[in-house]
Structures are given as structure tokens and as C-alpha cells.
């Protein structure tokens, strides 16, 4: 029988949803029944792919800590985290999936309480944080998830580095595949994160004669996948790691203009290793220069397929072992 696999995404930023959707679709293509959960900023993308997802209590540590204070973390995010774990526990108990694949630490905690076989996808390791509080949090949830998961998938754009987690399974970058475009392509695609905006940049690029597609601009209607647009572009400008992975899979030159602490650390890793196809910038003028002379890039394999194959094969092997014992 085909397995039922739960896929849960973290709610901070749409990128968590799109990369877990890539894995959900890859699992579904291999015959699995897929259940989605996560909520938050990525919910609309989930619905565009035909899933009806479970939405547990939303948490947002970037808003309460980077944009607030430790007091707000303790009074808002920590209680919300406890409720999110509880919501996931109830959902997993009700749906009883054969496995859970997630990039959400709270879903992983719930899986450990309900004995659901767990597979973790994670790139936000302690080495990506300079702030001691954020680094301590990342150290905790990386160690916890490493201890309770069957596989710890680490989608990597850069070559092996000191920040890489122990016992991780390195996979190619994960990107959400899509069908044909539903609107015209552009030579420059701008993909701000949930925490950045590129309105002024779009105006400057258009003034210089570029055809610009601004995913964060007024009038932009979300599409099922950005990958076809990024593949057709001459260059993509982004802040977050999900679009970094999209650009790597597409083989499109990428200019990275980070906003949050984690995004800055990702950019530092790209710059440190001089990763092919990426230029890291600090301000608008640097972006304009990099777009004018973008770095050369070549396509990468999509790690979503590697995750789906590993999970399906591992569950099948476990079923055979249980039947023969």
C-alpha cells in the first residue's frame, strides 16, 4: 500500500512552504498520499498546489526578537510555540501518518511525542547566527532534531564548510518545480523576502531599461511556482535562502541582498566559498552594478527528488523488516 506522509512547514516566510511543497509534490509523484500542515506566510502557495492544509498556531521569532525584544519572545513567541507543538500533537494523533517530513522544529517535537517516524530538512544551523541568543536557539533545535530524526537532510548550495551539522545528509538545493508561465517573462526577477522590499530597486532598474518582474510589488499575484520565471530571466535578485536555491536549480545568476541576520549569514557563506552564480551585495548601487554584470551560473540538480526517494525507500525497507520479524 502507498504510504501516507505528513509534510509540515515552518510559518516564518513563504520560502519554508515552497520548499516543503517541492518535497510534498515529489512524494506525491511517487505514489504517496500527502497531508500538508504549517500555516503562516506560505498558506496561499499551498492552496495553489491543491492542498488543504492544517494550520497550527503561528509563531514568529523574527518579528518578536529581531524586530522586538527578548521580553516579547518570552511573552508571545514561547507560549505560541507551546501551543503549536500541542496543535501538531493533536493533528498527528488524528491523522496517524506513516511518517512526517518537516523543516519545522515544533512539528519535529510533536512527532517525537507521537512516535511518528520523522525526517527533517534543515539549513538554519547554529553557524548561520552571530547573535548569541539566536545561535543558542539554533544549537538546541539542531541537536534535538538530529537526535530524533531518521534522516537529517541538509540542502547545501555552498561546498562543505565548518558550519555544516554533524551526521547530516547533504543534498542538492531544494526548489519548487512548476509548469508553464502564466504571465510574461522578464529579464530581471526581484524576489524580496517577507522581511524586505525592493520597490525602489524596481524603479531604478526600469529607469535603466530593464524589464522587471517584482514579486513583492503592487499588482503581483502569487503563482504556483517562481522557478519558470527565474529560469527565463537573465538575473534574479533576492534576500532569502529559498530563492538562492531556486536560482541554483534554475542555473540563473543570482544577486543576494540580505535583510535578516540569517539571510546575512547565508550571504556570507556564498561569498566565503565564492559559489558560482552568486554575487553578494550590501546596498542598492551594488545591486545595480551586479545586475549589469551578473556572474556566470550553471543548473544544479533538485534535492526534492533525493528527499522523496530516500523517505519512500526507507519506509518500504522498514515495512519489509517489520513483516519478516
Burial class (CB in 10 A: 0-12, 13-18, 19+), 174: buried
Whether the per-residue pLDDT at 238 is higher than 70: the answer is yes
Distances (CA, A) of 189 to 47, 222, 325: 23, 14, 55
CA–CA distance, 187 with 200 (Å, rounded to integer): 17
Q: Which three cell numbers stand for residue 2?
A: 502507498
In the structure, what pLDDT confidence band is assigned to residue 292 with cuts at 50, 70 and 90? very high
Q: Which of 287, 235, 230, 288 is nearest to 258 (CA)?
A: 287
Which residues contact residue 64 at a Cβ distance below 8 angstroms, ignoring those fewer than 6 apart? 72, 73, 76, 77
Choose between 203 and 125: higher pLDDT: 203
CA–CA distance, 41 with 47 (Å, rounded to integer): 12
Whether the per-residue pLDDT at 151 is higher than 90: the answer is yes
H-helix or E-strand spanning residue 6: strand 4-8
Report whether CATH 3.40.50.2000 matches the domain 188-292.
yes
Choose between 61 and 246: higher pLDDT: 246
Helices 303-324 and 14-29, axial angle in degrees (round to 10) = 50
Whether the per-residue pLDDT at 65 is higher than 70: the answer is no
The string of pLDDT tens digits covering residues 267-284 is 999 999 999 999 999 999
- pLDDT score at 310: 96
How far the first Cα of the chain sits from its last, in Å, is 19
Q: Which of 248, 219, 212 is nearest to 233 (CA)?
A: 212
Domain spanning 4-174+303-324, CATH class: alpha beta
Whether the per-residue pLDDT at 77 is higher than 90: the answer is no
Whether the per-residue pLDDT at 155 is higher than 90: the answer is yes
- pLDDT score at 63: 63
Global model pTM greater than 0.85: yes
Q: For the chain, what are the domain ranges?
A: 4-174+303-324, 188-292
Domains 4-174+303-324 and 188-292 share a fold: yes
- pLDDT score at 98: 97
Ranges 3-7, 135-139, 199-203, 227-231, most confident: 3-7
Q: Which of 174, 304, 295, 177 is nearest to 231 (CA)?
A: 177
Whether the per-residue pLDDT at 86 is higher than 70: the answer is yes
Beta bridge partners of 215: none
In the structure, what pLDDT confidence band is assigned to residue 218 with cuts at 50, 70 and 90? confident
The string of pLDDT tens digits covering residues 91-140 is 999 999 999 999 999 999 999 999 999 999 998 888 888 778 778 888 88
The pLDDT mean for the chain works out to 90
Choose between 311 and 183: higher pLDDT: 311
Whether the per-residue pLDDT at 323 is higher than 80: the answer is no
Dihedral sign (CA 304, 260, 104, 24): negative
In the structure, what pLDDT confidence band is assigned to residue 71 with cuts at 50, 70 and 90? low
Amino acid at each position: 500500500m502507498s504510504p501516507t506522509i505528513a509534510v509540515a512547514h515552518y510559518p516564518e516566510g513563504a520560502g519554508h512552504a515552497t520548499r516543503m511543497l517541492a518535497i510534498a509534490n515529489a512524494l506525491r509523484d511517487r505514489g504517496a498520499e500527502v497531508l500538508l500542515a504549517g500555516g503562516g506566510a506560505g498558506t496561499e502557495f499551498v492552496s495553489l498546489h491543491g492542498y488543504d492544509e492544517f494550520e497550527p498556531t503561528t509563531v514568529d521569532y523574527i518579528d518578536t526578537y529581531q524586530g522586538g525584544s527578548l521580553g516579547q519572545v518570552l511573552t508571545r513567541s514561547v507560549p505560541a510555540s507551546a501551543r503549536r507543538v500541542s496543535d501538531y500533537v493533536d493533528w498527528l494523533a488524528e491523522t496517524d501518518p506513516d511518517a512526517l517530513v518537516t523543516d519545522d522544529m515544533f512539528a519535529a517535537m510533536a512527532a517525537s511525542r507521537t512516535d511518528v517516524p520523522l525526517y527533517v530538512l534543515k539549513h538554519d544551523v547554529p553557524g548561520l547566527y552571530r547573535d548569541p541568543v539566536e545561535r543558542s536557539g539554533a544549537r538546541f533545535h539542531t541537536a534535538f532534531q538530529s537526535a530524533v530524526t531518521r534522516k537529517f537532510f541538509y540542502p547545501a548550495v555552498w561546498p562543505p564548510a565548518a558550519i555544516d551539522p554533524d551526521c547530516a545528509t547533504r543534498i542538492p538545493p531544494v526548489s519548487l518545480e512548476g509548469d508553464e508561465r502564466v504571465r510574461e517573462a522578464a529579464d530581471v526577477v526581484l524576489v524580496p523576502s517577507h522581511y524586505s522590499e525592493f520597490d525602489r530597486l524596481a524603479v531604478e532598474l526600469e529607469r535603466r531599461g530593464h524589464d522587471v518582474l517584482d514579486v513583492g510589488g503592487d499588482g503581483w499575484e502569487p503563482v504556483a511556482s517562481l522557478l519558470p520565471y527565474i529560469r527565463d530571466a537573465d538575473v534574479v535578485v533576492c534576500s532569502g535562502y529559498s530563492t538562492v536555491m531556486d536560482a541554483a536549480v534554475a542555473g540563473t545568476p543570482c544577486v543576494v541582498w540580505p535583510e535578516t541576520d540569517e539571510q546575512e549569514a547565508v550571504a556570507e557563506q556564498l561569498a566565503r566559498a565564492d559559489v558560482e552564480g552568486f554575487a553578494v551585495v550590501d546596498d542598492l548601487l551594488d545591486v545595480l552594478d551586479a545586475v549589469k554584470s551578473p556572474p556566470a551560473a550553471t543548473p544544479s540538480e533538485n534535492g526534492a527528488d533525493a528527499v522523496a526517494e530516500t523517505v519512500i525507500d526507507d519506509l518500504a525497507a522498514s515495512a519489509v523488516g517489520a513483516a519478516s520479524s
